[in-house]
Amino acid sequence: MLSSLLHLHVGAVMSFFSFGQSAEIDIVLNDAETKKKVEHKTEDGKKDKYFLFYDGETVSGKVNVTLKNPGKRLEHQGIKIEFIGQIELYYDRGNHHEFVSLVKDLARPGELTQSQTFDFEFTHVEKPYESYTGQNVKLRYFLRATISRRLNDISKEMDIVVHTLSTYPELNSSIKMEVGIEDCLHIEFEYNKSKYHLKDVIVGKIYFLLVRIKIKHMEIDIIKRETTGTGPNVYHENDTIAKYEIMDGAPVRGESIPIRLFLAGYEMTPTMRDINKKFSVRYYLNLVLIDEEERRYFKQQEITLWRKGDIVRKSMSHQAAIASQRFEGSSNNEKAVAQNKEDSN
Amino acid sequence: MKTKSADAAIADTRRLFPKPQNLSDAYGPPSNFLEIDVGNPETVGVGRSRFTTYEIRLKTNLPIFKLKESCVRRRYSDFEWLRSELERESKVVVPPLPGKALIRQLPFRGDDGIFDDSFIEERRQGLELFLNKVAGHPLAQNERCLHMFLQEEAVDKNYTPSKIRQA
């Protein structure tokens, strides 16, 4: 009976009875003292701090293996460390889509007689996408050190956060459009750019050409749309990140209402398009007019958000400085460009 | 618009240049004037064939209404007709009417039932609310039934439903 218990609950029973030897793993980065940490949301909504990396930066450090029972030996089938970048869809937890998978062997199968430290270095690791924790999908990067054993492995994970940086786009035309309801409401809206960085300001105006309804107020909402799945199983999750009233009262023909919306105050990510063909995160400006009878008239327009690199500070590691200069090309093609009527000259 | 240097530390938040507004647009009457009052309830008839009519006064400068001022009399069942026409013909989510008050129509009541002053006033308010909501709806304004209800002498329940198109 004892043997069947062991068979079913190997891990727990073994450590409870101190069968054999066990160990604790600790992963420590080489520049842990100086490396910048950023806040990142976890799946349950809490915020934690993680080390920040950029594309191309080397990830190096030490794996400390500490034996729990100092006298006994630890037999193992090999010790390794992996650097993994993966996408996890919440409705399909079993399948992790790994887009980066690097491994370094730290020790061949054998035994450890005492606690030991192993150095590792993943040189100039490609990190093509930004870390993202969303409503239905998560993209994360982590280090995982594993001691392989016959019955149960011992492993430790350490998450890191990756930001993708871009430079000022060469082409950044304004968005200008005339929309309305025939004979009832005609407006012309204009936003100064189509691509905004995360600490940018949206400057624009709404010009009223025809007002035959009784408008009570007007607001601009920022909507984040997370799209997961493909083909017939596409799912959009919309989240209104911001609501900003820009007009209170009834406008008349010829009136211009200014818009000045500071983005730094809102928690947003860069626009992510078709990441590894698994998900997208896009942002839309929704201009909403509400009339006296609470009827809503709205016009949605996509904007591209991008992350600007911070000014290089002395405390930033040399490698991070180089990495932050390896900019991703600014977004090309989008619909926003095609919808423009005006040059920004 | 001036192009900004790529490394500007502070974003340019100056307003976009507005088109100048015509003074007569700025100070003239607004183009969205529409006022509907439901009032002057009158109970006509005798005995069991009595019913109450309400006066509907409309004032507007919206071009979609043929008459800029109109005054007609309608009873509760006319409102019910309008509501069901709009629900069927248009995509509008039509607001509810004030209650039908069937209980008030039962005999042996202590008060005047549906001809009670306070009930008529309550109903009048509900009908006014209803009409203002409906008449201001851009989609409802395209329906023939609404214009017939608001501005024609009588409601022809055998009419042909259609959409109004602006010239």
Q: What digits encode the pLDDT tens for the residues A192-226?
A: 999 999 999 999 999 999 999 999 999 999 999 99
- The per-residue pLDDT for A22 is 86
In chain A, % helix, strand, coil (3-state, to 5) comes to: 10, 50, 40
State how far the Cα of A297 lies from the Cα of A210, in Å rounded to an integer. Answer: 14
- The per-residue pLDDT for A258 is 95
Is A116 within 8 Å of chain B by CB? no
Q: Do A252 and B26 touch (CB under 8 A)?
A: yes
Q: Which residue in A has a C-alpha nearest to residue B166's C-alpha?
A: A183
Q: Counting beta carbons within 10 angstroms of the beta carbon of residue B37, is it exposed (0 to 12), middle (13 to 18) or buried (19 or more)? A: middle
Query: Is B86 a residue whose pLDDT tops 50?
Result: yes
Q: Which residue in A283, A265, A130, A287 sits closest to A200, CA to CA?
A: A265
Percentage of chain A exceeding pLDDT 70: 84
State the average pLDDT for chain A. 87
What amino acid occupies position B108? F
ipTM of the complex: 0.86
Q: Which residue in A18, A150, A107 sits closest to A71, CA to CA?
A: A18
State how far the Cα of A210 lies from the Cα of B166, in Å rounded to an integer. Answer: 15
Q: Do A187 and A209 contact (CB within 8 A), yes or no?
A: yes
State how far the Cα of B92 lies from the Cα of A288, in Å rounded to an integer. Answer: 19
- The per-residue pLDDT for A325 is 56
Residues 72-131 on B with a CB inside 8 Å of A are none
Token pair of B42 as six digits: 């009158």
- The per-residue pLDDT for B69 is 96
Between A181, A255, A256, which is nearest B138 by CB?
Answer: A181
* Chain B residues in contact with A210 (beta carbon < 8 A): 31
Residue scoring higher pLDDT (A18 or B105): B105
Q: Which residue in A has a C-alpha nearest to residue B35's C-alpha?
A: A214
Q: How far is CA A156 from CA A51, A97, A107, B128, in A?
A: 16, 20, 16, 70
Residue scoring higher pLDDT (B10 or A327): B10
- The per-residue pLDDT for B109 is 80
Residue scoring higher pLDDT (A128 or A20): A128
Other Cβ atoms within 10 Å of B134 Cβ, number: 24
* Chain A residues in contact with B93 (beta carbon < 8 A): none
- Residue B87's SS3 state is helix
Token pair of A259 as six digits: 């818009």
**pLDDT tens readout for residues B116-167:** 888 999 999 999 999 999 999 999 999 999 999 999 999 998 888 888 876 5
Q: Do B16 and A192 touch (CB under 8 A)?
A: yes
Give the mutation candidate from B2, B4, B12, B32 for the A interface (greatest A CB count, under 10 A).
Answer: B32
Is A171 within 8 Å of chain B by CB? no
* Chain A residues in contact with B12 (beta carbon < 8 A): 203
Q: How far is CA B167 from CA A304, B65, B89, in A?
A: 41, 12, 21
Count residue pairs from A and B with Cβ separation < 8 A. Answer: 81
- Residue B147's SS3 state is helix
Give the lowest-confidence range in A138-152, B56-70, B99-113: B99-113
Split at pLDDT 50, 70, 90, the class of A93 is confident
Is A44 within 8 Å of chain B by CB? no
**pLDDT tens readout for residues B9-47:** 677 888 998 889 989 888 988 899 999 999 999 999 988
* Chain A residues in contact with B29 (beta carbon < 8 A): none
- The per-residue pLDDT for A94 is 86
Between B25, B26, B62, which is nearest A212 by CB?
Answer: B62
Q: Which residue in B has a C-alpha nearest to residue A203's C-alpha?
A: B13
**pLDDT tens readout for residues A68-88:** 887 888 899 999 999 999 999
Give the global pTM.
Answer: 0.83
Query: Is A15 a residue whose pLDDT tops 90?
Result: no
In the block, tokens 């009223």 appear at A208
Length of chain B in terms of residues written:
167
Percentage of chain A exceeding pLDDT 90: 73
* CA atoms lying within 13 Å on the CB side of residue A328: 21
Please state the separation of Cα A215 from the chain's center in Å.
Answer: 38
Token pair of A146 as six digits: 């594993």
Distance from CA of A63 to the nearest CA of B (A): 41
Give the mutation candidate from A177, A252, A289 for the B interface (greatest B CB count, under 10 A).
Answer: A252
- The per-residue pLDDT for B8 is 58
Q: Do A261 and A200 contact (CB within 8 A), yes or no?
A: no
Q: Which residue in B has a C-alpha nearest to residue A308's C-alpha?
A: B7
Distance from CA of B22 to the nearest CA of A (A): 7
Q: Which residue in A215, A213, A214 sits closest to A184, CA to CA?
A: A213
Q: Do B13 and A203 touch (CB under 8 A)?
A: yes
Query: Is A180 a residue whose pLDDT tops 80?
Result: yes
- The per-residue pLDDT for B105 is 83
